[in-house]
């Protein structure tokens, strides 16, 4: 049996998610962000012996990793490669009409972040890529080397809430006049040359996050998916969303409020201090849930 400790991506707030989704034997569950399969593994375990899970990810590597992680529950799950922006269409192929619980654990996984070839990380040098899905045509390389100063500034400011957006865009444009910018380390160094470190946070953190959000249209996909997810829930079914930055969390919060369903997280759920100590990535996680009337 595969131990949870062997997971390549440490799932965040697993116990909180299982409780909030009210996972039960025999239920039907949908994990819209499979990643390394950690949450799905817990859902299958807690819905044993006969619960069923559908898992979606737009990254083919995530699908094969999750397939491996979930193998002990073979026969109780279906995995689908696709963008959750097309949720209804993806689910129509499964023959399942409604779910008891739906989960979104947004952003990228450690598997994606730590693979330097994917170009998500400034700590490991790699090509400027940042596509979650290899079929996306736009890469970070194109954005960084061809977008205008104003376009770059707007990405850093609006998607990264980066106060030094103008300075960073300016430095990129000046640098690329001399040389194409081709690696994540190179970009991180350009940013570090104009922005001072703020506490423990690397100066390139916000700009890298903004680029990733832009290339993968993360906010647009989330808005499209939430409304479809709500219509795929049974009455009393629960929708749970973990977000990692304020722009995402705001979309979720406003959607929940406007949906007029029952919000089951009066205040947002945050990870325990112990979890944050064991998994730094958890520090910015925020969990919200609603129950369909
Ligand atoms: C934070 S990870 C999920 C980790 C997972 N809960 C686990 O326990 O391992 C987010 C995953 O969502 C996927 N993802 C992000 N946006 C997506 C989208 N629009 N459609 C489908 N999958 C998406 C990413 O490729 C990534 O694998």
- The DSSP bridge partners found for residue 289 are 240
Residue 196: the pLDDT is 87
Q: Rounded to the nearest 5°, which phi and psi values hold at 106? A: -75, 170
Task: Give the residue ranges of the chain where pLDDT is below 50.
Answer: 1-2
Residue 147: the pLDDT is 98
- Distance, CA 55 to ligand 1 centroid (Å)? 10
Q: Cβ(283)–Cβ(205) under 8 Å?
A: no
Atom 12 in ligand 1: residue holding the nearest Cα: 33
Residue 182: the pLDDT is 96
Question: 137-215: same fold as 4-111+218-291?
Answer: no
| CATH topology for the 4-111+218-291 domain | Rossmann fold (3.40.50)
Q: Is 108 in the pocket of ligand 1 (CB under 6 A)?
A: yes
Q: Is 58 in the pocket of ligand 1 (CB under 6 A)?
A: yes
Residue 4: the pLDDT is 63
Residue 1: the pLDDT is 42
Q: Is 141 in the pocket of ligand 1 (CB under 6 A)?
A: no
Q: Which superfamily does CATH assign the domain made up of 137-215 to?
A: Putative methyltransferase TM0872, insert domain (1.10.150.170)
Task: Return the sign of the alpha-carbon dihedral for residues 60, 237, 218, 282.
Answer: negative
Domain ranges across the chain: 4-111+218-291, 137-215
CA atoms of 12 and 35, how far apart (whole Å)? 12
Atom 20 in ligand 1: residue holding the nearest Cα: 83
Enter the pTM of the model. Answer: 0.96
């Amino acid at each position: 049996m595969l131990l949870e400790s062997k997971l390549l991506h440490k799932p965040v707030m697993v116990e909180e998610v299982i409780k909030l989704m009210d996972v039960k034997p025999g239920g039907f569950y949908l994990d819209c962000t499979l990643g390394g399969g950690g949450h799905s593994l817990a859902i299958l375990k807690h819905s044993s012996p006969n619960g069923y899970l559908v898992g979606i990810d737009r990254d083919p590597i995530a699908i094969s990793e999750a397939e491996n992680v979930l193998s002990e529950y073979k026969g109780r799950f279906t995995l689908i490669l696709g963008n959750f922006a097309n949720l209804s269409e993806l689910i129509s192929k499964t023959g399942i009409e409604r779910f008891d619980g739906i989960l979104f654990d947004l952003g990228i996984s450690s598997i994606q972040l730590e693979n330097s070839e994917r170009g998500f990380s400034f700590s490991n040098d790699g090509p400027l890529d940042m596509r979650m899905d290899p079929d996306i045509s736009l890469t970070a390389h194109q954005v960084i080397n061809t977008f205008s100063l104003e376009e770059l500034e707007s990405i850093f400011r609006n998607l990264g809430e980066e106060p030094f957006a103008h300075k960073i865009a300016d430095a990129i444009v000046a640098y690329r006049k001399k040389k194409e910018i081709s690696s994540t380390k190179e970009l991180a160094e350009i940013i570090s040359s104009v922005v001072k470190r703020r506490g423990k946070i690397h100066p390139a953190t916000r700009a890298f996050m903004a680029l990733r959000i832009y290339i993968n249209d993360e906010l647009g996909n989330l808005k499209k998916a939430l409304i479809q997810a709500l219509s795929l829930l049974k009455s009393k079914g629960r929708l749970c969303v973990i977000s990692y930055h304020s722009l995402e969390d705001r979309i979720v919060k406003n959607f929940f409020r406007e949906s007029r369903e029952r919000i089951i997280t009066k205040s947002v759920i945050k990870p325990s201090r112990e979890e944050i100590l064991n998994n730094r990535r958890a520090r910015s996680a925020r969990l919200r849930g609603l129950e369909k009337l």
